Amino acid sequence: MDSRRAIVVLVIGGLAYIVAVLQRTSLGVAGVDATERFVLDATALSSLAVLQLLVYAALQIPVGVLVDRFGPRALIGVGATVMAIGQLVLALAPGIELAVVGRVLVGAGDAMTFISVLRLLGAWFSPRRLPLLSQWVGTLGQTGQLLSAIPLALALRDLGWSSSFIALAAISTVASVAVWLGVRDTPDGAERLRAATFRIAISQLGESLKRPGTRLGFWAHASSQASATMFVILWGFPALSVGLGYGTASAAALLSIVVVAGAIGGPIIGLLSARYPYRRSNVVLLIVALTAAAWAVVLLWPDKPPLAAVVALLVVLAVGGPGGLIGFDFARTFNPPTSQGGASGFVNVGGFATAVILLLLVGLILDRLSDSADPEQLYSWESFRLAFAVQYPVVAGTVIAMLVARGRARRLLVEEEGIAVAPLWLAIARRRRGRREKRGG
């Protein structure tokens, strides 16, 4: 573990994930172009993104079982190939029907990537490094979003729809070849962490789902990541470029803030998770509270919010992605290595299933508020202001479910290991009292 070969595997796996995020977020930048190319209203456009994420979310558990059975290398390589085919179909699609097929394939290939990369990390690196490495990979993977926010936006403007998406297909093909040539599931001589049969893999998944820590990871992922996913995947670009009037280039540059801020915040969250393993849920709750506050400032501001408030929102949303990765850390610590693929797949459903709900609700509300397919009317800021407010009741539901799962996980921790986790306020009070007594002594 932690060898030079492990670094090579880490780099290739990380690059494969960057490419997967690029393919996933490409429709967000191309949303306005897709509206005009395929003559879509907001509901139809959101349905296209929703279908992609539905496929992604629906395949997470099956993919997790496949990872436990066949290993991560096969899943990452096949996933990159499937995404390449999907983007090629989208590039050549004459109408919405084939475009739907293309996005389904992109969602399917994307579904095979991230949890497989996490499984690679677990095989090649020591447990003490995993929380920070997971955050680094998850955060740097969002570079793919940066590539879609700026280079893809420029390519769409200068090269057109077909050439841009053919280029995306070529990039994914290169990633697939690199994985097949440069990645191995485990170091030489190490035990192969695979289930012997599908029956055993499915049985292990069932055991994982019974553990409250796995469900805690699911809801932690859902509550912290859904808002950022909804914004980045589809609605952020039209809201910034048309709704707030920043234009294509400025909107793309603003979306890049999410990547840069995430690259800074991710490692910090990873260090906090590693140093305070029994306070990870409190980090998630803090991220959710900050997200709610940032959205409130932007949505309640009279007329259009100032640029500073928008930038602050983007910075806070950037932390949502790394916050969601804490859910995978729950899956890792509450499950044995041989069943972590299925557990991680279940956790990954949380944020993306919730994002699907938000994507569709925002599209429905935008259409209800406008009777025109003209982007200027359809994507007005007043419409977005009301549509984005739908996040509050949805995310509140995930937070309540997370608190219930946390209570059950902590009770089980007391029963099995004798570890009682005190409420945060009480732990802080005890620490302050201890410091005062130490100074007094």
pLDDT bin (cut points 50, 70, 90) of residue 197 is low
Inter-CA distances, 158 with 162, 193, 247, 256, 402, Å: 11, 47, 16, 20, 46
Is the pLDDT score of 429 beyond 70? no
CA atoms within 13 A on the CB side of 45: 31
Mean of pLDDT values over 114-124: 86
Q: Which of 196-200, 266-270, 327-331 has the highest mean pLDDT?
A: 327-331
Which pLDDT value is given to residue 30? 76
Torsion of CA 431, 432, 438, 441, to 10 degrees: -140
Q: State the average pLDDT over residues 166-184.
A: 94
CATH number of 4-185+198-432: 1.20.1250.20
Q: Is the Cα dihedral 176, 178, 181, 183 positive or negative?
A: negative
Residue 424 reports pLDDT greater than 70: no
**SS3 state at 93:** coil
Name, in order, each residue with C-beta under 8 angstroms of 4's C-beta and a sequence gap of 6 or more: none
The per-residue pLDDT for 195 is 60
Residue with tokens 């390449």: 84
**Considering the entire predicted model, what is its pTM?**
0.74
Name the residue type at position 434: G
Tell me, what's the pLDDT at 48?
Answer: 75
- Ramachandran sector of residue 216 (left: φ over 0; alpha: ψ -120 to 50; beta: rest): alpha
Q: Share the mean pLDDT of the chain.
A: 84
On the question of pLDDT at 90 being above 70, the answer is yes
